[in-house]
Amino acid sequence: MKQNPLDDIVLSPAPVLSKECEPIEKIDSDVKALAKRMLKDMYAADGCGLAAPQVGVSKQLVVIDVDWSGRGSSKNPYVLINPKIITADGEERETGEGCLSFPGITVPVKRPSHVVVQAKNLDGDLMQYEASDNLLAVCLQHEIDHLHGVTMIDHLAPSERVRALADYQAALDAGARPGDVEVED
Ligand code: ZN
C-alpha cells in the first residue's frame, strides 16, 4: 500500500504537539527507522525541519536540512537526538516562520539570532551545532521547541495568536496541506 508521506504529518491542534517529549535512551533500530521516516516526510513536504511529535511520536528527535531547496538539490540532513540549547543569545531577530503542522500560514516570530545546540547523532556521537543569523539558527530553535510542547504560535502575543489561528482554520478549510506556506485565493 502506498501512503502519501504528507498524511503522516500531524496537524495542530493534535494533543501530541503540546506535550513534553521523552528523551531517547537507546539509539536502536526503531529510532533509526523513525529518523528515516521523518526525513522522507520532511523532504516530501519541502520542509527544512521536522520534530518527532509532528509524526505523532513523543520522543526527543529532530531532523533538519536547511540546504534542501526542493527536488534536484543536494541533501544535507542532520538528525538530532535529545538536542539541548546550550546558548541562545545575540540580538533578537524576527523571521516569518512556517510549520508543517500549521499548513497555509506564516507568522512573525522573534528569537535570539545566535544559538549553540548539543545533540547526539544516529551513531551516538555528541555533536555541537552553532548558527548565527541564518535559517539554521531559526530552525534549530523552532524544532527543539516542538520537543517541549511549544509551537510557533505560542511565541505570538494573544491578539496575534487569535488572528493566526483564524488564518490557519481558513487555510485548512481551503484545503491547505503540510508544506503550503500560503493558500492562493
Ligand atoms: Zn514546526
Ligand 1 centroid to 29 CA: how many Å? 25
Average pLDDT of adjacent 10-residue blocks, the chain of 185 residues: 85 98 98 97 94 98 89 88 98 96 97 98 98 96 98 98 97 94 59
pTM score over 0.85: yes
> What is the pLDDT, as a whole number, of residue 2?
63
Q: Is 25 a catalytic residue?
A: no
Count of other CB atoms within 10 angstroms of residue 144: 23
> What is the pLDDT, as a whole number, of residue 183?
52
The answer to whether the beta carbons of residues 87 and 111 sit under 8 Å apart is no
Cα distance between residue 181 and residue 185, in whole Å: 13
Cα distance between residue 112 and residue 80, in whole Å: 20
Strands annotated E in 21-77:
49-51, 61-64
> What is the pLDDT, as a whole number, of residue 3?
80
Ligand 1 centroid to 176 CA: how many Å? 15
> What is the pLDDT, as a whole number, of residue 120?
98
Terminal CA-CA length for the chain: 34
Q: Report pLDDT digits (tens) over 18-39.
A: 999 999 999 999 999 999 999 9
Q: Report pLDDT digits (tens) over 82-114.
A: 999 999 999 999 999 999 999 999 999 999 999
> What is the pLDDT, as a whole number, of residue 50?
98
Question: 13: cis peptide before it, omega within 30°?
Answer: yes
> What is the pLDDT, as a whole number, of residue 185?
47
The answer to whether the beta carbons of residues 37 and 54 sit under 8 Å apart is no
Which residue's C-alpha cell is 520532511? 42
> What is the pLDDT, as a whole number, of residue 19?
98
Ligand 1 centroid to 98 CA: how many Å? 7
The answer to whether the beta carbons of residues 65 and 77 sit under 8 Å apart is yes
Ligand 1 centroid to 171 CA: how many Å? 16
Ligand 1 centroid to 137 CA: how many Å? 14
Cα distance between residue 92 and residue 59, in whole Å: 29
Domains, the chain, in order of start with CATH, read 5-173 (3.90.45.10)
Ligand 1 centroid to 53 CA: how many Å? 10
Ligand 1 centroid to 72 CA: how many Å? 24
Catalytic residue among 143, 160, 182, 184: 143
The answer to whether the beta carbons of residues 181 and 113 sit under 8 Å apart is no
